[in-house]
């Protein structure tokens, strides 16, 4: 929060000289002293992604290109609750308010620690010592003097906490918490509702999205809701799947709003407080790999949304994927940026995507600033599926990911590797991005968690440059019929259900979602347990695992048999089986399947992970650098290849882009002007989170969570590393 009392400290040498008294005063006149959405005072990192613009930018410049190599740990915090099976993770972007850091742990606790020492001040544990799993990316701070509060989500509960003590504020919701299952307009207790990404505050409103299931079984709707920060009452709701009479209803099948879920704003929000416009991106609808029961373009799934923050009314929308069957959610909100054209500054938004497309749109109208073309794409051959004939593509200069995989793009790391990959490709469907899933194995590049994920981009308002990381590893997918052959072993039916319902998270050899054990780890846990235990977990869910209460008993028993490695000799008659979703979802995916060479490395040519700087005035890539490396290949003398990456960058006025994200488990510092890797630090677990930076007593600190685990699947950790220059 900026106040005129900050003027003295704002002129400290650690701040940019460009911020003079006049510019600081103009900020005060624009935002006022009480605005919780004002740009951060330079010493703070007061909200997720730094500010309401989602800039991930800091005006601090004590750490710069000349001295970043001197960085060393100032302190290290061990949270004490990470898990090795299933592997936990930390995705938190810590909030720093007046020397106090608020962060979350692998076990979904909230900690307040001192920014100079890492000393723990208080801890809130909603589970009171019981084991917990899941993902939380941070907290939301609402400043109001003695009535200030923190908001965060664990499980399906939205908590309001006293930031001085960590105690629940009993007047909020019911005894300090709101149930996220409430206010969705229909019974959804059979499925999973949570929120991994923090909400955003505007005056006395807290706006929240949700994280939901996207499989073929029923899922909750992805309504966007605004809560009263004091009472927890819902003040407005926006339906992302339109209901009768609402704009966009005709872009779905008639009963979609009642039968389908998803289209949720799971990646968070940004906000233009002056215009009172709320921005977000939405995900795909259920089921995310077959849409024959949702014929049409499917607004407002896969859309950039601009809403009136006071009322929730739609101002404009822009859909980046029509009728999604690839799970190409918009994983993060757009950055609020400026673009100079013909000598004029245009207020705009810049939206990174999983496809590696950057869409730059006018902030008030949603019109593209750089031309977007509707390009014909291959059509699905799955019976009943009606894919959209075209997809929107920004100019080639704003496509920053690899988007094609054929035999020409095969890794040539060794002749033997190339030969093995090409042999496998001869049995697959290959081509450009938006290749539809079919009955034959098909390659997807970027993969379903590729391009840019929830970490989003950082934006330097001085140079009008966007910095975005990207994963370039391939996966493969295929579709199978939901109903089995006339006679099938119980084990095989369970395997079929597992591939369609569970494989996206648990995978076959490696888990594909945070907190989800791989199939082999899962079997070690449940094999000794009775069938009834597995069925109970299916009915009630556990941790991040959604409920599968809507499955029939036949399906639950078959799933239990497969994960327990039983039922191979028990034959079932299809005509006597009860099916829960096979009539409405006749085809399901075999999961998001890793595509690796015989030695376990990506099959396409590197770089497999990048950081890209995009000049928004020119609408083109300024530089692109490799992000991360595989130590085994590094040991062979190979140059950095890049890796799959999770977590986002930040950028500072000191000219540094800080990012963890890569599977080499290092914290990296790149030169913002040239893309040169200036410094890296070997952590003891992967930093799959977005860092924060702040200053205390004239000293700049950079903080990153090293939680490991997660979708990269590396070892889990439970530490926060805080770096500073030596005294």
Question: pLDDT by residue (tens digit) across 605-617?
Answer: 999 999 999 999 9
Residue 391, domain member (yes or no)? no
Distance CA 365, CA 374 (A): 19
pTM for this one? 0.91
Residue 37 within a domain? yes
Domain boundary among 580, 601, 624: 580
Within 14-164, strands assigned E span 57-58, 72-78, 95-97, 100-104, 110-114, 120-124, 140-142, 149-154, 157-161
- Does 111 map to a domain? no
Retrieve residue 358's tokens: 């950057």
pLDDT at residue 28 tops 70 = no
Query: Among candidates 71, 114, 104, 4, which has minimal Cα distance to 652?
Result: 71
Q: How confident is the model at residue 500 (pLDDT cuts 50, 70, 90)?
A: confident
Count: domains in the chain: 2
Q: What whole-number distance in Å separates Cα of residue 295 and Cα of residue 284?
A: 14
pLDDT, tens only, 505-529: 776 665 656 556 777 777 877 778 8
Q: Which residue has the higher pLDDT, 436 or 577?
A: 436
Compute how many other C-beta atoms are within 10 angstroms of the C-beta atom of residue 121.
14
Pairing of strands 140-142, 149-154: antiparallel
**Which letter does DSSP use for residue 330 in this model?**
-
In a domain, 524, yes or no: yes
The confidence score (pLDDT) of residue 533 equals 86
CA 537 distance to own-chain centroid? 26
| Burial annotation 503-541 (CB, 10 A radius, 16+ → b, else e) | bbbbbbebbbbbbbbbbebbeeebeeeeeeebbebbeeb
- Does the structure show a pLDDT above 70 at 12? no
245: number of Cβ within 10 Å: 6
| Rounded average pLDDT over 333-346 | 97
Higher pLDDT, 505 or 240: 240
Rounded CA-CA distance 467/56 in Å is 10
Query: pLDDT tens for residues 403-444?
Result: 999 999 999 999 999 999 999 999 999 999 999 999 999 999
Instruction: Write out the residue range of the structural domain in which residue 39 sits.
Output: 4-58
Could you give the angle at the alpha carbon of 683 between the alpha carbons of 653 and 334, nearest 5°? 45
State the burial class of residue 444 (Cβ atoms within 10 Å of its Cβ: 0-12, 13-18, 19+): buried
The pLDDT confidence band at residue 656, using thresholds 50, 70 and 90, is very high
Whether 697 is in a domain gets the answer no
The enclosing domain of 503 has a CATH number of 1.10.760.10
Higher-pLDDT residue of 16 and 629 is: 629
* Cα separation, 319 vs 297, whole angstroms: 9
Asked whether 703 and 695 are in contact (CB, 8 A), the reply is no
**For residue 543, what pLDDT is reported?**
63
What does each C-alpha distance from 197 to 47, 163, 447, 689 come to in angstroms? 12, 19, 22, 12
Q: Which of 614, 610, 616 is nearest to 629 (CA)?
A: 610
381 pLDDT higher than 70:
yes
DSSP-derived pairing of the beta strands 57-58 and 650-652: parallel
User: Looking at the chain, how many residues does it have?
Assistant: 727
Share of the chain above pLDDT 70, in %: 92
Cα–Cα nearest to 155, from 543, 549, 545, 516: 543
pLDDT above 60: residue 38? no
> Tokens standing for 30?
């624009």
Tell which of 559, 580, 601 closes a domain: 580
Helix (H, G, I), strand (E, B) or coil at 299: coil
Q: Which of 555, 580, 605 is the last residue of a domain?
A: 580
Q: Is residue 341 part of a domain?
A: no
The pair phi, psi for residue 195, each rounded to 5°, is -150, 110
CB atoms within 10 A of CB 7: 13
pLDDT of residue 510: 59
In a domain, 45, yes or no: yes
Separation of alpha carbons 210 and 314, rounded Å? 18
pLDDT at 550: 80
Of 79-83, 213-217, 454-458, the range with the lowest mean pLDDT is 213-217
Residues 6 or more apart whose Cβ sits within 8 Å of residue 145: none
Average pLDDT taken over every residue of the chain: 91
Query: Residue 149: CB partners within 8 Å, gap ≥ 6?
Result: 141, 142, 160, 161, 162, 163, 169, 172, 229
Is residue 516, in this structure, part of any structural domain at all?
yes
């Amino acid at each position: 929060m900026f106040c005129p009392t900050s003027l003295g400290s704002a002129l400290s040498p650690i701040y940019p000289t460009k911020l003079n008294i006049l510019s600081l005063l103009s900020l005060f006149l624009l935002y006022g002293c009480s605005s919780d959405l004002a740009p951060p005072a330079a010493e703070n990192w007061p909200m997720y992604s730094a500010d309401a613009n989602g800039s991930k930018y800091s005006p601090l410049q004590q750490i710069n290109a000349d001295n970043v190599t001197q960085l060393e740990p100032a302190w290290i915090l061990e949270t004490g609750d990470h898990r090795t099976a299933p592997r936990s993770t930390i995705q938190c972007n810590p909030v720093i308010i007046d020397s106090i850091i608020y962060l979350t742990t692998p076990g979904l606790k909230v900690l307040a620690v001192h920014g100079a020492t890492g000393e723990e001040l208080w801890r809130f544990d909603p589970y009171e010592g019981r084991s917990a799993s899941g993902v939380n990316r941070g907290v939301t701070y609402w400043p109001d003097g003695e009535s200030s509060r923190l908001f965060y989500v664990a499980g399906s509960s939205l908590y309001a906490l006293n930031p001085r003590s960590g105690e629940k504020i009993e007047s909020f919701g019911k005894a300090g918490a709101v149930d996220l299952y409430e206010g969705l307009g229909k019974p959804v207790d059979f499925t999973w509702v949570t929120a991994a990404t923090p909400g955003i505050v505007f005056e006395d409103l807290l706006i929240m999205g949700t994280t939901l299931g996207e499989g073929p079984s029923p899922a909750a709707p992805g309504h966007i809701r605004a809560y009263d920060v004091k009472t927890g009452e819902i003040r407005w709701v926006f339906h992302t799947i339109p209901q009768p009479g609402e704009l966009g209803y005709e872009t779905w099948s008639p009963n979609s709003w009642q039968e389908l879920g998803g289209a949720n704003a799971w990646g968070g929000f940004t906000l233009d407080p002056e215009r009172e416009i709320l921005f977000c991106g939405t995900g795909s609808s259920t089921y995310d790999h077959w849409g024959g029961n949702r014929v049409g373009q499917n607004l407002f799934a896969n859309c950039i949304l601009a809403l009136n923050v006071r009322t929730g009314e739609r101002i404009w929308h822009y859909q980046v994927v029509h009728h999604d069957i690839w799970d190409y959610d918009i994983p993060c909100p757009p950055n609020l940026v400026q673009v100079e054209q013909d000598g004029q500054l245009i207020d705009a938004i810049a939206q990174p995507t999983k496809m590696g497309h950057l869409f730059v749109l006018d902030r008030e109208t949603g019109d593209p600033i750089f031309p977007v073309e509707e390009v014909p794409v291959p059509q699905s051959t799955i019976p009943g599926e009606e894919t959209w004939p075209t997809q929107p593509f920004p100019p080639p200069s704003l496509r920053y990911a690899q988007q094609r995989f054929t035999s020409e793009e095969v890794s040539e790391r060794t002749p033997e590797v190339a030969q093995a990959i090409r042999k496998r490709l001869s049995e697959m469907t290959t081509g450009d991005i938006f290749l539809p899933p079919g009955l034959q194995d098909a390659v997807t590049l970027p993969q379903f968690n590729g391009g840019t994920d929830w970490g989003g981009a950082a934006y330097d308002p001085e140079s009008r440059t966007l910095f975005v990381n990207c994963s370039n590893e391939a996966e493969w997918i295929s579709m199978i019929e939901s109903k089995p052959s006339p006679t099938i072993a119980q084990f095989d039916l369970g395997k079929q259900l597992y591939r369609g319902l569970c494989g996206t998270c648990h995978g076959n050899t490696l888990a594909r979602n945070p907190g989800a054990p791989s199939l082999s780890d899962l079997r070690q846990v449940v094999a000794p347990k009775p069938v009834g235990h597995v069925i109970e977990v299916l009915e009630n869910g556990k941790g991040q695992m959604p409920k599968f209460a809507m499955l029939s008993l036949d399906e639950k028993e078959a799933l239990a048999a497969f994960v327990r490695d039983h039922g191979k000799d028990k034959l079932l008659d299809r005509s006597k089986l009860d099916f829960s979703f096979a009539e409405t979802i006749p085809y399901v995916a075999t999961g998001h399947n890793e595509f690796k060479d015989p030695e376990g490395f990506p099959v396409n040519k590197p770089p497999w992970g990048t950081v890209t700087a995009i000049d928004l005035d020119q609408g083109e890539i300024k530089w692109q650098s490799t992000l991360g490396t595989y130590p085994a290949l590094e040991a062979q003398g190979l140059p950095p290849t890049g890796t799959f990456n999770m977590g986002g960058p930040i950028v500072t006025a000191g000219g540094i882009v800080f990012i963890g994200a890569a599977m080499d488990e290092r914290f990296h510092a790149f030169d913002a002007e040239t893309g040169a890797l200036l410094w890296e630090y070997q952590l003891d677990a992967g930093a799959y989170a977005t860092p924060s930076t702040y200053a205390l007593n004239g000293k700049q600190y950079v903080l990153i969570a090293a939680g490991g685990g997660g979708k990269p699947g590396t070892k889990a950790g439970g530490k926060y590393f805080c770096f500073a220059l030596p005294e």
